[in-house]
Amino acid sequence: MEIAIALLFSTLRQATPLLLTALGGLFSERSGVVNIALEGMILFGAAAAAITVNRLEVAMGGEVVFWIPWVGLLAGALMGGLVGLIHAVAAIKYRADQIVSGTAINIAALGAPSIVLQVLYNNTSTSQEVVNRLPNVSLGPGSVSILVIFAFLLVPVVWWVLFKTPWGLRLRAVGEHPEAAETMGINVIRMRYTAVVLSGVLAGIAGAYLSIGFLNQFIRAMSAGAGFIALAALIFGKWHPLGVLGATLLFGFAQALAIQLQGGDVLPATLVQALPFILTMLVLAGFIGRSRPPAAVGKPYDK
């Protein structure tokens, strides 16, 4: 029983960054822009959040101040949004190959934080540990970060926005058939910019969760593929918020299981860690239900 509860809470914690990122990716891909840069956006957000909190702590004399982690969260979200904007400008304005520009961002996310860390902390792989983390919320037998609650509450919100509001309808139209949407008077370009920046903001929040919620410092490449798993969850969840919820819970569970199995005698953790990736490939091949992307995804829009 205790193991089951520990596994449940671990699943929630592992699923949160995936869920936040995948919901963000949902906006981007539903608008027709492939966002392979989610991984990089998480890392940029995580670095910005941890560094901001650390700098503020230094300025405030190392005390626990309630607003500091929130400013860190804001910094992470803004940084994610900024990186999203770069991807958006490349993909929408300059009609770049969206995979290529996304890859560029992912590569930058491995290098750029290190340069800043080197200047601030004279070390290229970690930031200083922070004391001001995002608050935890007690949930029965355990407690989780407040962002975990936020992520799960976001699912119905995203569902409602996407399927019950005019804005959501327009977004989906832009991703399915931009020309038709344009004739209906929808500003395709603006919709796409909004969607991609929004996905960056959510990925940045996921990064902040990793660096100042789940852990208390930034570590180089700490996302460890979370952005790609989120992308996989998006496909697995058939570009639908509820499907995404299910997929991220499954992948989160696989990760929690891998942690739980560490040193146990059931299965080697290194192999269980590969599970989400294998599952995704099976889904893509159509072994576990077909998944159809938005029709205009990945295609630059030309007026």
Contacting residues toward another protein, per CB under 8 A: 36, 86, 89-90, 94, 96-97, 99-101, 103-108, 110-112, 114-119, 122, 124, 225, 228, 231-232, 235, 264-268, 270-271, 273-274, 277-278, 280-281, 284-286
Q: Minimal distance in Å, beta carbon 302 to another protein?
A: 10
Nearer to another protein, 68 or 235 (CB): 235
Nearer to another protein by Cβ, of 191 and 233: the residue is: 233
Nearer of residues 120 and 155 to another protein, judged by Cβ: 120
CA angle, residues 9, 15, 20, in degrees to nearest 5: 130
Least gap, CB of 235 to another protein (angstroms): 7
Q: How far is the CB of 108 from another protein (least distance, A)?
A: 3
Pick the closer one to another protein by CB: 181 or 232.
232
Q: Provide the sign of the torsion angle of the four alpha carbons 215, 219, 224, 228, taken in this order.
A: positive
Please say which residue, 79 or 154, places its beta carbon nearer to another protein.
79
Distance CA 177, CA 41 (A): 27
56: Cβ contacts below 8 Å, ≥ 6 apart? 65, 68, 71, 72, 132
Rank residues 61 and 286 by Cβ distance to another protein and give the closer one.
286
Residue 38 CB, nearest distance to another protein (Å)? Answer: 11
Nearer CB in complex with another protein: 99/169: 99
Cβ of residue 264: shortest distance to another protein, in angstroms? Answer: 7
What is the CA angle 107-213-270, rounded to 5?
60
Name the minimum Å distance from CB 36 to another protein: 7
Q: Is the dihedral of CA 145, 246, 155, 72 positive or negative?
A: positive
Smallest distance, another protein to C-beta of residue 85, A: 13
The number of C-alpha atoms within 13 Å of 21 and in the hemisphere containing its C-beta is 40
CB-nearer residue toward another protein: 135 or 289: 289
User: What's the closest the beta carbon of residue 93 comes to another protein, in angstroms?
Assistant: 8
